[in-house]
């Protein structure tokens, strides 16, 4: 049987490693709230695995609260950044480089599998969900996390317009066309027999400018820009800037954006 193909080129995530913490960092105290919410959803769980562990944004606060976490990530650059920034005095985090559709983990080895900001990047997210369930113990739980933001916020409208521009030029929206909808993923898991518990565990407001968000596209630190072909990337970026200026005026104007972190816990009935 041929080996499973990786979902995305491993080095596609490497350039984003250095900027990822700045782009995705929680405000002070929020990471601990998010981690505590995860622990409360799976009391007594011992063996934790974060898929797409990245720079440790979720794993580090979990480890600080006593969870025995291991991590898998496709990107060597992300893992190197995580190792270099891991706090002294905190138990080392077992790490492995691997693909979400071929996890280097034994079947049934985990009590909890965690994935945050991973599946929405994948065109083959169904295969990834199946693989994550494979490594879960029979009574284990899958935790999917995401940040909710108002769909009509300037940043959300900018993202939607970027995707529309890409499609108009013959490209695919989002990274690899894999922008999965969290509702679709929840429906697929429930169709497999999973029970869903959803809980918001943190709320905060960040101030942004469209100029800064466009910079994340220009520098390809935003996942929506990672695999846009270079031959029409500049044209798409210029169109986006022109649209944003026409729609909002000054791109330097700051706007507040409400964020909520949401955990989705999926569990399956005991197998006979």
CB 223 within 8 A of CB 179: no
Closest-CA residue to 111 (of 61, 73, 62)? 62
Contact, 196 vs 265, CB < 8 A?
yes
With the CA atoms of 189, 192, 197 and 203 taken in that order, what torsion angle do they form, in degrees rounded to the nearest 10?
0
Residue 184 CA to residue 74 CA, distance in Å, equals 24
- Mean pLDDT, the chain, rounded, equals 86
30: Cα within 13 Å, side-chain hemisphere = 17
Under-70 pLDDT residues of the chain: 1-24, 172-180, 271-272
Question: For position 219, what pLDDT does the model report?
Answer: 82
Determine how β-strand 136-148 pairs with β-strand 254-267.
Answer: antiparallel
Number of DSSP helices (H) and strands (E) in the chain, helices first: 9, 7
Sequence-distant (6+) residues with CB within 8 A of 22 are none
- List, for residues 59-82, the tens digit of each pLDDT value: 999 999 999 999 999 989 889 999
Q: Which residue has the tokens 């791109």?
A: 251
What span, in angstroms and rounded, lies between the C-alpha atoms of 114 and 58? Answer: 9
Q: pLDDT digit string (tens) for 198-214?
A: 999 989 999 989 999 99
Q: What is the pTM of this model?
A: 0.83
Q: What is the pLDDT of residue 132?
A: 97
Instruction: Give the position of tokens 């071929």.
Output: 102
Q: Of 110, 130, 103, give the one whose Cα is nearest residue 185.
A: 130
Task: State the architecture of 10-149+179-203+255-267 in CATH terms.
Answer: 3-Layer(aba) Sandwich (3.40)
């Amino acid at each position: 049987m041929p080996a499973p193909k990786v979902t995305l080129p491993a080095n596609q995530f490497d350039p984003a490693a250095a900027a990822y913490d700045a782009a995705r960092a929680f405000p002070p105290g929020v990471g601990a709230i998010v981690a505590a919410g995860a622990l409360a959803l799976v009391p007594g769980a011992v063996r934790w695995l974060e898929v797409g562990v990245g720079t440790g944004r979720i794993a580090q606060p979990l480890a600080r609260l006593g969870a025995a976490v291991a991590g898998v990530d496709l990107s060597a650059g992300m893992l190197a950044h995580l190792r270099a920034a891991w706090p002294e005095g905190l138990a080392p985090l077992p790490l492995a480089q691997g693909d979400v559709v071929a996890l280097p983990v034994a079947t049934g080895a985990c009590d909890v599998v965690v994935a945050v900001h991973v599946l929405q990047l994948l065109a083959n997210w169904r295969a990834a969900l199946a693989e994550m369930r494979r490594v879960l113990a029979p009574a284990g739980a899958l935790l999917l996390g995401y940040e909710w933001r108002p769909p009509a916020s300037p940043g959300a409208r900018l993202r939607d317009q970027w995707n529309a521009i890409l499609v108009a030029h013959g490209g695919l929206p989002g990274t690899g066309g894999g922008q999965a909808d969290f509702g679709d993923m929840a429906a697929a898991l429930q169709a497999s027999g999973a029970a869903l518990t959803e809980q918001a565990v943190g709320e905060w407001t960040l101030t942004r400018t469209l100029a800064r968000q466009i910079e994340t596209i220009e520098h390809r630190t935003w996942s929506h820009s990672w695999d846009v072909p270079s031959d029409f990337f500049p044209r798409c970026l210029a169109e986006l800037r022109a649209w944003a200026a026409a729609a909002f005026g000054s791109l330097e104007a700051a706007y507040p954006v409400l964020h909520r972190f949401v955990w989705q816990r999926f569990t399956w009935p005991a197998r006979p």
